[in-house]
Homo-oligomer: A and B are copies of this chain.
Amino acid sequence: VSSRVAIFGGTHGNEMSGVMLVNLWVQNNTEVQRKGVEVQPFITNPKAVEKCTRYVDTDLNRAFTPENLSTLGGGDLPYEVRRAQEINRMFGPKGSPEAYDVIFDLHNTTSNMGCTLLLESSKDHFNLQMMNYIQATSCLVLLNEHPLLKYSTSRLEVGPQPQGVLRSNIFESMRDILKHALDFIELFNAGMEFPPCTVEVFRLSERIDYPRDDNGNIIAMVHPNLQDCDWEPLNPGDPMFQTFDGKTIHYQGSGTVYPTFINEAAYYEKQQAFATTRRENFALCSVNKWQTFST
């Protein structure tokens, strides 16, 4: 049973849809109430939200490591490390009896990705069945499989939206996905069986950096033919970057890939211009609340 659900907003303080939705639901939770489900909307990085910045000291989204969660140091630790420890105490630790059953983490991207749920395990049939249920909202699945599962949430990315901007279309898309996801959880808890089905997922393949000079400075931009074309096929020989002196750099991979996170603002510092994915179809088992999951 998924009786305790958290909705995180503001993990990155300048991704406004999640910030505004969660603030709204903290004031009035009628919209996210479901029978038999305790839903807790929560601003995870209030200092970054206040400053309308991605983070204050370090990226909160990358701060939930076993080292960070177990380190001592109190006030001397980076703000987001302290915050990760607090959040882990409140909503985790994963696997403990007090842990929340489902945590949605609401993000925006400057990439033209539409709605995307990021999953960390292809064995996560609960989330995959949920995705299949909310297919009506055309949400895609990006699979970034981790051999060792850490503290993990269901991360929802919706774009394109600039940092610090609230666009009504993006806000309403995110709201709609959450509505359907909570409906799924309510039905699941009520005992509904979701039958076997096939879902399409995009499995993360490679991270591609911008072309750079010897000093690490960028010397090319995402090519106009690739810009905004998230999830569309990129074939060997297709234009990928355009240098500042007008030359085209072509994709040299060995087969068709599906690029995503194209030209995401926050990934310049992470040396990533876009990520490639490969399309796969998964056969899902039926799920119901009487099963035991190994997510």
Most chain B CB atoms below 10 A, which of A167, A224, A264: A167
B168 close to A23 (CB less than 8 A) = no
Is A286 positioned at the interface, with any CB of B under 8 Å from its CB?
A: no
Q: Which of A135-166 contact B (CB under 8 A)?
A: 160-166
A268, closest chain B residue (CB): B164
Is A190 positioned at the interface, with any CB of B under 8 Å from its CB?
A: no
A176-217 interface bits toward B, Cβ cutoff 8 Å, 1 = contact, 0 = none: 000000000000000000000000000000000000000001
B269 close to A52 (CB less than 8 A) = yes
Copies in the complex: 2
- Distance to closest chain B CB from A167 (angstroms): 6
Known interface pairs A52-B268, A268-B52; A223-B163 also in contact (CB < 8 Å): no
Is A227 positioned at the interface, with any CB of B under 8 Å from its CB?
A: yes
Is A132 positioned at the interface, with any CB of B under 8 Å from its CB?
A: no
- Distance to closest chain B CB from A291 (angstroms): 37
B110 close to A162 (CB less than 8 A) = yes
A53 close to B53 (CB less than 8 A) = yes
CA distance A161 to B164 in the complex (A): 12
Residues of B within 8 A of A217 (CB): 23
B221 close to A171 (CB less than 8 A) = yes
Is A266 positioned at the interface, with any CB of B under 8 Å from its CB?
A: yes
Is A234 positioned at the interface, with any CB of B under 8 Å from its CB?
A: no
**In the complex, which range does the number of interface residues on chain A fall in?**
20 to 34
Residues of B within 8 A of A164 (CB): 110, 163, 265-266, 268
Is A244 positioned at the interface, with any CB of B under 8 Å from its CB?
A: yes
Query: Which listed residue, B20, B53, B169, B242, touches A244 by the CB 8 Å rule?
Result: B20
A226, closest chain B residue (CB): B168
Residues of B within 8 A of A227 (CB): 167-169
B52 close to A165 (CB less than 8 A) = no
Residues of B within 8 A of A169 (CB): 224, 227
Is A24 positioned at the interface, with any CB of B under 8 Å from its CB?
A: yes
Residues of B within 8 A of A165 (CB): 110, 162, 263-265
Is A119 positioned at the interface, with any CB of B under 8 Å from its CB?
A: no
Residues of B within 8 A of A266 (CB): 164
Query: Which listed residue, B23, B53, B160, B168, touches A222 by the CB 8 Å rule?
Result: B168
Most chain B CB atoms below 10 A, which of A20, A221, A223: A221
Residues of B within 8 A of A20 (CB): 218, 244
- Distance to closest chain B CB from A164 (angstroms): 4
B168 close to A242 (CB less than 8 A) = yes
- Distance to closest chain B CB from A53 (angstroms): 7
Residues of B within 8 A of A171 (CB): 221
CA distance A166 to B224 in the complex (A): 11
Which residues of chain A have a CB within 8 Å of any CB of chain B? Answer: 20, 23-24, 52-53, 110, 160-169, 171, 217-218, 221-224, 227, 242, 244, 263-266, 268-269
